[in-house]
């Protein structure tokens, strides 16, 4: 039996503002910008990312909020390395469906610790979830 020549599909990895983050790449997160203490990412909600109510799973939303805040923190410090989440508080205000847009910002940047916040927006521009978090710059 002859096996046909098969070249595996080579997936070009997405750069997340200079970092390789396989999990976000797997989800299909689109990094839009991270500069001057602000960031924006987006994601088209797929059925496999939903919960039993057919809306975005809370764990997915928390992942996106966490990364948006971390990207904002890195951009404020022009920090090439990653940041580490110290703590994060999340509030879910309404269901997230369709295209999910997340905007992060730094509230206060310190020498090693940054205080950040992020919001999730739906297609109508309504806030569906929000978070605040504390991040330390990786040394």
Domains of the chain are 22-137 (3.10.129.10)
User: Which band of pLDDT confidence, cut at 50, 70 and 90, is reported for residue 4?
Assistant: low
Residue 65 · residue 118 · CB < 8 Å: yes
Lowest model confidence (mean pLDDT) among 13-17, 26-30, 45-49, 131-135: 13-17
pLDDT above 90: percentage of residues in the chain: 76
β-strand partners of 108: 115
Task: Answer yes or no: is pLDDT of 7 > 80.
Answer: no
Angle at 67 between CA 58 and CA 139, to 5 degrees: 140
List the one residue out of 85, 76, 68 whose CA is nearest residue 119: 68
Q: Which two tokens stand for residue 39?
A: 């960031």
Picking from 72, 71, 69, 64, the residue whose alpha carbon sits closest to that of residue 99 is 64
The neighbour count for residue 104, using CB atoms within 10 Å, is: 27
Q: What is the pTM of this model?
A: 0.90
Residue 30 predicted with pLDDT over 80: yes
| Contact indicator for 117, 108 with CB cutoff of 8 Å | no
pLDDT digits (tens, 9 = 90+) for 50-101: 999 999 999 999 999 999 999 999 999 887 778 999 999 999 999 999 999 9
Residues β-bridged to residue 42: 30, 101
Torsion sign across C-alpha atoms 92, 40, 98, 62: negative
């Amino acid at each position: 039996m002859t096996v046909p020549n098969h070249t595996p599909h080579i997936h070009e990895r997405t750069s997340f503002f200079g970092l390789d983050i396989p999990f976000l790449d797997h989800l299909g997160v689109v990094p839009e910008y991270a500069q001057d203490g602000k960031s924006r990412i987006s994601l088209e909600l797929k059925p496999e990312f939903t919960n039993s109510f057919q809306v975005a799973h809370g764990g997915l939303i928390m992942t996106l909020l966490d990364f948006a805040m971390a990207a904002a923190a890195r951009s404020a410090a022009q920090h090439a390395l990653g940041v580490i989440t110290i703590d994060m508080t999340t509030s879910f205000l309404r269901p997230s469906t369709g295209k999910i847009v997340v905007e992060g910002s730094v509230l206060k940047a310190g020498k090693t610790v940054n205080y950040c916040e992020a919001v999730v927006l739906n297609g109508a521009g309504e806030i569906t979830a929000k978070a605040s978090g504390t991040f330390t710059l990786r040394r």
